[in-house]
Amino acid sequence: MTPARGSSMDSLFDLAAHCLGAADPREKQALTHAAATAWRAGCLHLEVDAQTHPRTWPGRPARPELVAPRALKSRKLTTTEGRAAMIHAVAHIEFNAINLAWDAVQRFRDMPPDYYEDWVRVAAEEATHFGLMRERLQDLGYDYGDFPAHNGLWEMAETTAADPLVRMALVPRVLEARGLDVTPGMIERFESVGDAETARRLGIILRDEVGHVAAGSRWFRHLCRTRGLIPEVHYFELLDRYRLAVQRGPLNLDARRAAGFDEVELTRLQALDGPDRHHLARAPTP
């Protein structure tokens, strides 16, 4: 899908909003990959039309049913249903991550071109990740939508909608960074029950997510510099302001270092791990 020259879809912002609004998962994947191809080919511009405004809500299918996180049942990976439920949780995260990447493109319209390069790439990779997990669900006799899920990721998109600095700090560097911590353990659990194929696919996701969190780190630090803020200080001010902390459990220090966390941040994050904190950054709940 290469937009016709002269159409509104020559605008990256309009095309990103179109991808965000697609409700059917396969359509969202296809539109995302086509938009990324058009961007890489130089077919899209970054001019802002004052008559168009960012889309405020993503398209999504009627299923899965969205419930409170505490309403999600815990299942054992020793059963096919349990493995499918965990895979579904990851697929739902990846579906929402497509929306989050496109929202980061279409909502924040005065960033440098390299910012859009990063988030178009992230959107395309998240679409690939969703496909990897959905295919694996289908291998097990299930599909996306067969289990309930929660809406925490998009709720954070709404919370951070007013400021790209806050978005970069709290979505990639809190919610997505938590995936760097928990995914190695998930890989081990799937390997322990003989599901090497799911473990392999999770390894691909983990590899790519380091780059996604790194993009968040890069643009968080850029925005701090332009505003005269000290990133290592302001990050923790935002965690306090929004009552966020790293969920209890070990940090994947090597992955976080590769994703742009420095030693001061890692030391302070480890010190924040405690039962009296409000923990919004969740691991997938099977």
Residue range 109-128: average pLDDT?
98
Task: Enumerate residues 6+ apart whose C-beta is below 8 A from 202.
Answer: 90, 183, 186, 187, 190
CATH class of the structural domain 77-272: mainly alpha
| Confidence check: pLDDT of 12 > 90 | yes
Asked if the model's pLDDT at residue 272 lies above 80, the reply is no
Lowest mean pLDDT among 39-43, 72-76, 209-213, 247-251: 247-251
pLDDT at 84: 97
State how far the Cα of 234 lies from the Cα of 217, in Å rounded to an integer.
Answer: 13
Rounded average pLDDT over 208-223: 98
Q: What integer pLDDT is reported at residue 273 of this predicted model?
A: 63
Over the range 174-192, which residues count as b (16 or more CB within 10 Å of their CB) and which as e? bbbbbbbbbbbebbebbee
Is residue 5 over pLDDT 70? no
Alpha carbons 149 and 69: distance in angstroms, whole number: 7
How far is residue 224's CA from residue 234's CA, in Å, rounded to a whole number?
8
Mean pLDDT (the chain) is: 90
Spatial CB neighbours of 280, under 8 Å, sequence gap ≥ 6: 152, 156, 174, 175, 243, 244
Percent of the chain past pLDDT 90, that is, above it, reads: 80
Q: How confident is the model at residue 42 (pLDDT cuts 50, 70, 90)?
A: very high
User: What are the extents of the domains in the chain?
Assistant: 77-272
Q: Give the mean model confidence (pLDDT) for residues 96-123.
A: 97
Residues 6+ apart with CB under 8 A from 19: 28, 31, 32, 35, 98, 102, 123
Is the pLDDT reported for residue 246 higher than 70? no
